[in-house]
Amino acid sequence: MSTNSGTAHSQTAQHTLGYVSGRWVIDPVHSDISFVVRHLMVSRVRGRFVRFSGEIVTGADPSASTVAVEIDMESIDTGNADRDDDLRSPNYLDVARYPTMVYRSTAVRVIGDRFTVDGDLTLHGVTRSVQLAGELHGIRANGKGGTVAGLGATAEIDRRDFGINLAIPIPGGGVVVGDKIAIGLEIEANLAN
Protein backbone atom coordinates (compact mmCIF):
# COMPACT_ATOMS: atom_id res chain seq x y z
CA MET A 1 0.00 0.00 0.00
CA SER A 2 2.81 2.26 -0.89
CA THR A 3 1.88 5.80 -1.70
CA ASN A 4 4.67 5.89 -4.29
CA SER A 5 2.65 6.90 -7.32
CA GLY A 6 5.28 6.02 -9.92
CA THR A 7 4.21 4.58 -13.23
CA ALA A 8 4.98 0.95 -13.99
CA HIS A 9 8.51 0.67 -15.36
CA SER A 10 7.72 -2.53 -17.24
CA GLN A 11 5.11 -5.23 -17.50
CA THR A 12 7.67 -7.93 -16.78
CA ALA A 13 8.06 -9.73 -13.46
CA GLN A 14 11.56 -8.25 -13.12
CA HIS A 15 10.26 -4.79 -12.25
CA THR A 16 8.34 -3.45 -9.28
CA LEU A 17 5.22 -1.49 -10.16
CA GLY A 18 3.95 1.69 -8.53
CA TYR A 19 0.90 1.84 -6.30
CA VAL A 20 -2.15 0.17 -7.87
CA SER A 21 -5.71 0.68 -6.66
CA GLY A 22 -8.28 -2.07 -7.06
CA ARG A 23 -9.60 -5.29 -5.55
CA TRP A 24 -7.00 -7.89 -4.59
CA VAL A 25 -7.88 -11.51 -3.81
CA ILE A 26 -5.65 -13.29 -1.29
CA ASP A 27 -3.87 -16.31 -2.74
CA PRO A 28 -3.89 -18.93 0.06
CA VAL A 29 -1.37 -21.13 -1.76
CA HIS A 30 1.28 -18.39 -1.52
CA SER A 31 0.19 -16.85 1.78
CA ASP A 32 0.61 -17.78 5.42
CA ILE A 33 -1.38 -16.95 8.56
CA SER A 34 0.54 -18.15 11.58
CA PHE A 35 0.75 -17.70 15.34
CA VAL A 36 3.14 -18.23 18.22
CA VAL A 37 2.18 -18.92 21.86
CA ARG A 38 4.20 -19.74 24.98
CA HIS A 39 4.14 -23.34 26.21
CA LEU A 40 4.98 -24.18 29.84
CA MET A 41 6.38 -20.63 30.13
CA VAL A 42 9.71 -21.75 28.63
CA SER A 43 9.20 -22.39 24.92
CA ARG A 44 7.15 -21.21 21.97
CA VAL A 45 4.75 -23.33 19.95
CA ARG A 46 4.13 -22.27 16.38
CA GLY A 47 1.04 -22.98 14.34
CA ARG A 48 -0.79 -21.87 11.26
CA PHE A 49 -4.17 -21.94 9.60
CA VAL A 50 -4.27 -23.86 6.33
CA ARG A 51 -7.62 -22.64 4.94
CA PHE A 52 -8.56 -18.97 4.67
CA SER A 53 -9.83 -16.44 2.16
CA GLY A 54 -9.99 -12.71 1.88
CA GLU A 55 -9.60 -9.56 -0.12
CA ILE A 56 -7.89 -6.21 0.06
CA VAL A 57 -9.40 -3.22 -1.69
CA THR A 58 -6.85 -0.47 -2.28
CA GLY A 59 -8.41 2.92 -2.81
CA ALA A 60 -7.17 5.77 -4.99
CA ASP A 61 -6.39 7.30 -1.59
CA PRO A 62 -4.53 4.49 0.24
CA SER A 63 -6.17 5.46 3.54
CA ALA A 64 -9.52 4.49 2.00
CA SER A 65 -8.35 0.88 1.57
CA THR A 66 -10.10 -2.04 3.27
CA VAL A 67 -9.20 -5.57 4.35
CA ALA A 68 -11.47 -8.56 4.99
CA VAL A 69 -10.25 -12.05 5.91
CA GLU A 70 -12.08 -15.22 6.98
CA ILE A 71 -10.20 -18.15 8.54
CA ASP A 72 -11.43 -21.73 8.83
CA MET A 73 -10.63 -22.61 12.46
CA GLU A 74 -10.84 -26.34 11.76
CA SER A 75 -7.70 -25.94 9.65
CA ILE A 76 -5.42 -25.13 12.60
CA ASP A 77 -2.11 -26.97 12.32
CA THR A 78 0.65 -26.99 14.94
CA GLY A 79 2.31 -30.15 13.66
CA ASN A 80 0.79 -32.32 16.40
CA ALA A 81 -2.62 -33.94 15.84
CA ASP A 82 -3.42 -34.39 19.55
CA ARG A 83 -2.59 -30.76 20.32
CA ASP A 84 -4.61 -29.59 17.31
CA ASP A 85 -7.63 -31.60 18.50
CA ASP A 86 -7.30 -30.04 21.96
CA LEU A 87 -7.12 -26.56 20.45
CA ARG A 88 -10.25 -27.27 18.39
CA SER A 89 -12.12 -28.51 21.48
CA PRO A 90 -14.27 -26.45 23.89
CA ASN A 91 -11.13 -26.10 26.04
CA TYR A 92 -9.85 -23.45 23.63
CA LEU A 93 -11.31 -22.52 20.22
CA ASP A 94 -14.54 -24.57 20.38
CA VAL A 95 -14.53 -24.94 16.60
CA ALA A 96 -17.87 -26.79 16.55
CA ARG A 97 -19.58 -23.62 17.84
CA TYR A 98 -17.26 -21.03 16.31
CA PRO A 99 -16.00 -22.41 12.98
CA THR A 100 -14.57 -19.17 11.59
CA MET A 101 -12.45 -16.24 12.66
CA VAL A 102 -13.09 -12.99 10.79
CA TYR A 103 -11.10 -9.77 10.52
CA ARG A 104 -12.54 -6.60 8.96
CA SER A 105 -10.65 -3.33 8.82
CA THR A 106 -12.09 -0.11 10.19
CA ALA A 107 -9.21 2.26 9.32
CA VAL A 108 -5.96 2.19 7.34
CA ARG A 109 -2.98 4.51 7.73
CA VAL A 110 -0.10 4.44 5.23
CA ILE A 111 3.37 5.97 5.42
CA GLY A 112 5.55 4.95 2.48
CA ASP A 113 5.67 1.17 2.33
CA ARG A 114 4.53 0.78 5.94
CA PHE A 115 0.93 0.65 7.07
CA THR A 116 -1.25 0.25 10.12
CA VAL A 117 -4.68 -1.36 9.95
CA ASP A 118 -7.25 -1.00 12.71
CA GLY A 119 -9.94 -3.63 12.55
CA ASP A 120 -12.47 -5.84 14.29
CA LEU A 121 -11.43 -9.43 14.95
CA THR A 122 -14.22 -11.89 15.71
CA LEU A 123 -12.92 -15.02 17.43
CA HIS A 124 -14.70 -17.50 19.67
CA GLY A 125 -17.92 -15.49 19.36
CA VAL A 126 -16.31 -12.26 20.64
CA THR A 127 -15.36 -9.18 18.63
CA ARG A 128 -12.46 -6.96 19.70
CA SER A 129 -10.42 -4.22 18.04
CA VAL A 130 -7.03 -5.48 16.83
CA GLN A 131 -4.32 -3.44 15.15
CA LEU A 132 -2.05 -4.85 12.43
CA ALA A 133 1.33 -3.26 11.71
CA GLY A 134 2.83 -4.15 8.37
CA GLU A 135 4.92 -3.49 5.33
CA LEU A 136 4.27 -3.73 1.61
CA HIS A 137 6.89 -6.02 0.07
CA GLY A 138 6.08 -4.98 -3.47
CA ILE A 139 3.67 -4.95 -6.40
CA ARG A 140 4.76 -6.74 -9.56
CA ALA A 141 3.56 -8.04 -12.86
CA ASN A 142 3.23 -11.79 -12.42
CA GLY A 143 4.49 -12.72 -15.88
CA LYS A 144 1.05 -14.08 -16.84
CA GLY A 145 -0.68 -10.82 -17.66
CA GLY A 146 -1.74 -10.12 -14.08
CA THR A 147 -0.52 -8.13 -11.10
CA VAL A 148 0.46 -9.48 -7.70
CA ALA A 149 1.17 -7.76 -4.38
CA GLY A 150 2.98 -9.05 -1.32
CA LEU A 151 2.79 -7.75 2.23
CA GLY A 152 3.53 -8.81 5.77
CA ALA A 153 1.88 -7.81 9.04
CA THR A 154 1.98 -8.64 12.73
CA ALA A 155 -0.32 -8.28 15.73
CA GLU A 156 -0.63 -9.53 19.28
CA ILE A 157 -3.82 -10.57 21.04
CA ASP A 158 -4.67 -11.84 24.50
CA ARG A 159 -6.80 -14.97 24.24
CA ARG A 160 -8.66 -14.03 27.44
CA ASP A 161 -10.08 -10.98 25.63
CA PHE A 162 -11.94 -13.47 23.43
CA GLY A 163 -13.26 -15.65 26.25
CA ILE A 164 -10.60 -18.36 25.85
CA ASN A 165 -9.84 -18.61 29.54
CA LEU A 166 -8.58 -22.13 30.28
CA ALA A 167 -5.50 -21.74 32.49
CA ILE A 168 -3.90 -25.01 33.59
CA PRO A 169 -1.35 -24.11 36.29
CA ILE A 170 2.12 -25.61 36.37
CA PRO A 171 4.29 -26.22 39.44
CA GLY A 172 6.35 -23.17 40.33
CA GLY A 173 3.90 -20.75 38.75
CA GLY A 174 2.58 -19.99 35.31
CA VAL A 175 0.28 -21.91 33.01
CA VAL A 176 0.60 -24.57 30.33
CA VAL A 177 -0.51 -22.24 27.51
CA GLY A 178 0.35 -18.55 27.57
CA ASP A 179 -2.24 -15.79 27.29
CA LYS A 180 -0.50 -13.67 24.65
CA ILE A 181 -0.60 -14.84 21.04
CA ALA A 182 1.64 -13.31 18.39
CA ILE A 183 0.10 -13.33 14.92
CA GLY A 184 2.08 -13.18 11.70
CA LEU A 185 0.74 -12.67 8.19
CA GLU A 186 2.60 -13.12 4.92
CA ILE A 187 0.12 -12.36 2.16
CA GLU A 188 0.29 -12.60 -1.59
CA ALA A 189 -2.75 -11.21 -3.41
CA ASN A 190 -3.76 -11.04 -7.04
CA LEU A 191 -5.34 -7.98 -8.63
CA ALA A 192 -8.87 -8.95 -9.64
CA ASN A 193 -9.85 -5.84 -11.59
Looking up residue 40, the CATH number of its domain turns out to be: 2.40.128.110
Q: Are 167 and 175 in contact (CB under 8 A)?
A: yes
- Closest Cα partner for 16 from 2, 28, 29, 27? 2
User: Into how many domains does the chain fold?
Assistant: 1
Beta strand segments in the chain, E: 22-26, 32-39, 43-49, 52-58, 66-72, 76-77, 100-111, 114-123, 126-141, 147-158, 177-191
- The domain in which residue 45 lies consists of 22-191
Q: Residue 129 domain-assigned?
A: yes
Whether 114 maps to a domain, the answer reads yes
User: Strand 147-158 relative to strand 177-191: parallel, antiparallel, unpaired?
Assistant: antiparallel
Q: What is the pLDDT of residue 157?
A: 97
Mean pLDDT of 165-192: 85
Query: What pLDDT does residue 46 have?
Result: 96
- pLDDT band (50, 70, 90) for residue 40: low
In a domain, 14, yes or no: no
pLDDT band of 174, cuts 50, 70, 90: low
17 lies in some domain: no
46 belongs to a structural domain: yes
pLDDT for residue 42 is more than 90: no
pTM comes to 0.87
> What are the tens digits of pLDDT across the range 62-117?
999 999 999 999 999 999 999 999 999 999 999 999 999 999 999 999 988 899 99
Residue 142 in domain: yes
- Identify the CA nearest to 189 among candidates 143, 137, 122: 137
Within a domain: 48: yes
In a domain, 59, yes or no: yes
Q: What's the pLDDT at 117?
A: 97
d(CA 47, CA 181): 11
* pLDDT tens sequence across 108-164: 999 888 999 999 999 999 999 999 999 999 999 988 889 999 999 999 999 999 999
